[in-house]
């Protein structure tokens, strides 16, 4: 039995999948957090949050890595951790620093830091010849405006260090760009209280569909688990409205996406000890990297993969954090595709009615989860405002997406927000 140090977590799916994977692997964990109430608030009423099933729960200032490192060394001297892990993007660099200090498995701190900063990723990939959009990074408004004119409108503007699509926007002119610049100036810290970099990343607007390549890297080799497709809506925001695994691609497009992801991960130095989720646009000029995430995919993509292939990426994430060779053998699950669709609110108000209970017994349905009436609703501007989801599978082929969309259409028809 191994003992892992878990440093913070998301409060969504992975905050439940990761503790489950640790427990089912026969391991135990110590949970380290700066704000325990952040997780208590997220537990469904009448239940205990899975992260609180830890052997130990320790409060420490996880946002101050220089103070945290000696504290973790003291804990390690007492309990002897075998690996360190997180499911929260904002703490991936800290986990890499801790692993390096304690001599535990994991990718290098510089590689993780570069992957977690969108501007650093762009520079590393450009220098390595990995295809991506034309881009510029600036802090001052005059420089931002000048770079935007050089790239050309429409373009994509984004913060370099936020997650879930927060404040990522298509901008069609200078007035819209100025509005986003003012908005970001009023967001000095992220959701975990960490100070943000005061710069904006401008990127060429890419055409074509978006996919993600799910990989596991160990012993210097990047192994592709598969390619997931994405539905994106909510313009001018970029909100993920659904996913299907495997993506319905031609063999040539799938191979090109996989090759590009491998190139990107190796360029960043992420070819050992990491489960990754690399987003790619299949443009008319070939694949272009959108971003590289050195952690398993969110939005329950890991569950789509498990339902279709039997490969459990949450469990594999635990194994690579322990320096163990992961088991990537596929099983015949009886499904050929699985998809998820999210209910994305278009207006703000209070949720009055949402009827999705009958979907649980519909053919092919794997999961149904919706918010309860009375919930305060915000018009979606990122992936953080979903009102729920439906997941379904198809035993015959790539029909899971159509099945999910048909089911969600009925839910949308009965949705009332006032």
Convert the pLDDT of each residue in 142-167 to its tens digit: 999 999 999 999 999 999 999 999 99
pLDDT attached to residue 307? 98
pLDDT attached to residue 3? 98
Measure the CA–CA gap between 47 and 16, rounded to whole angstroms.
12
The number of beta carbons lying within 10 Å of the beta carbon of residue 46 is 5
For 264, the enclosing helix (H) or strand (E) is helix 251-268
CATH 3.90.1170 placement within the chain? 338-418
CATH architecture of 338-418: Alpha-Beta Complex (3.90)
Q: Is the per-residue pLDDT at 8 higher than 80?
A: yes
Topology of the domain covering 3-104: Rossmann fold (3.40.50)
The helix/strand/coil state of 361 is: helix
pLDDT attached to residue 44? 63
Sequence-ordered strand ranges (E) for 56-98: 56-59, 83-85
CATH code for the structural domain at 207-333: 3.30.470.20
Q: What is the mean pLDDT of the chain?
A: 95
Query: Taken in order 194, 195, 200, 201, is the CA torsion positive or negative?
Result: negative
CATH 3.30.1490.20 placement within the chain? 133-204
Q: Is the per-residue pLDDT at 71 higher than 90?
A: yes
CATH 3.40.50.20 placement within the chain? 3-104
CATH 3.30.470.20 placement within the chain? 207-333
Convert the pLDDT of each residue in 225-272 to its tens digit: 999 999 999 999 999 999 999 999 999 999 999 999 999 999 999 999
Mean pLDDT of 203-213: 97
pLDDT attached to residue 46? 61
pTM reported for the whole predicted model: 0.96
Tell me yes or no: is domain 133-204 CATH 3.30.1490.20: yes
pLDDT attached to residue 41? 76
Mean pLDDT of 74-95: 97
Mean pLDDT of 103-122: 97
The residues with which 140 forms a beta bridge, in sequence order, are none
Measure the CA–CA gap between 341 and 343, rounded to whole angstroms.
7
* Contacts made by residues 279-282, CB under 8 angstroms, sequence distance 24+: 279/210, 279/211, 279/212, 279/230, 280/210, 280/211, 280/212, 280/213, 281/206, 281/207, 281/208, 281/209, 281/210, 282/208, 282/209, 282/210, 282/211, 282/249, 282/253, 282/256, 282/257
Question: In the chain, pLDDT over 70 holds for what percent of residues?
Answer: 99
Q: Is the per-residue pLDDT at 204 higher than 90?
A: yes
């Amino acid at each position: 039995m191994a003992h892992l140090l878990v440093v913070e977590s998301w409060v969504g799916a992975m905050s439940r999948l990761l503790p489950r994977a640790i427990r089912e692997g026969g391991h135990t964990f110590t949970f380290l957090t700066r704000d325990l109430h952040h997780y208590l608030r997220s537990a469904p009423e009448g239940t205990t949050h899975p992260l609180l099933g830890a052997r130990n729960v320790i409060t420490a200032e996880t946002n101050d890595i220089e103070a945290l490192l000696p504290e973790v060394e003291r804990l390690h001297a007492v309990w002897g951790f075998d690996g360190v892990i997180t499911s929260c993007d904002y703490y991936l660099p800290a986990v890499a620093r801790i692993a390096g200090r304690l001599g535990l498995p994991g990718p290098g701190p510089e590689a993780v830091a570069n992957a977690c900063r969108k501007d650093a990723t762009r520079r590393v990939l450009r220098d390595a010849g990995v295809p991506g959009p034309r881009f510029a990074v600036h802090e001052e408004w005059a420089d931002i405006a000048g770079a935007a004119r050089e790239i050309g409108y429409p373009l994509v503007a984004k913060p370099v260090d936020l997650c879930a699509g927060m404040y990522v926007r298509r901008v069609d002119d200078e007035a819209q760009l100025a509005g986003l610049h003012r908005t970001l100036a009023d967001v000095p810290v992220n959701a975990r209280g960490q100070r943000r970099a005061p710069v904006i990343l401008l990127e060429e607007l890419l055409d074509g569909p978006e996919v993600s390549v799910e990989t596991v890297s160990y012993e210097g080799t990047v192994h592709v688990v598969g390619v997931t497709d994405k539905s994106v809506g909510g313009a001018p925001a970029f909100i993920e409205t659904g996913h299907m695994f495997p993506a319905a691609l031609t063999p040539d497009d799938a191979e090109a996406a996989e090759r590009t992801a491998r190139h990107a991960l190796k360029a960043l130095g992420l070819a050992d000890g990491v489960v990754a989720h690399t987003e790619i646009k299949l443009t008319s000029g070939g694949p272009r990297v959108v971003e590289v995430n050195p952690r398993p995919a969110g939005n329950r993509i890991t569950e789509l993969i498990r339902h279709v292939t039997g490969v459990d990426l949450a469990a594999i994430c635990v194994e690579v954090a322990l320096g163990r060779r992961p088991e990537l053998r596929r099983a015949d699950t009886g499904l050929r595709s699985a998809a998820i669709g999210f209910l994305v609110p278009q207006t703000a108000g209070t949720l009055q009615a949402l009827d999705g209970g009958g979907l649980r017994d519909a053919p092919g349905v794997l999961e149904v989860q919706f918010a309860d009436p009375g919930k305060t609703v915000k018009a979606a501007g990122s992936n953080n405002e979903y009102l729920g989801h439906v997941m379904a599978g198809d035993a015959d082929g790539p029909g899971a997406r159509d099945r999910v969309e048909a089911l969600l259409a009925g839910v949308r028809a009965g949705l009332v927000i006032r």
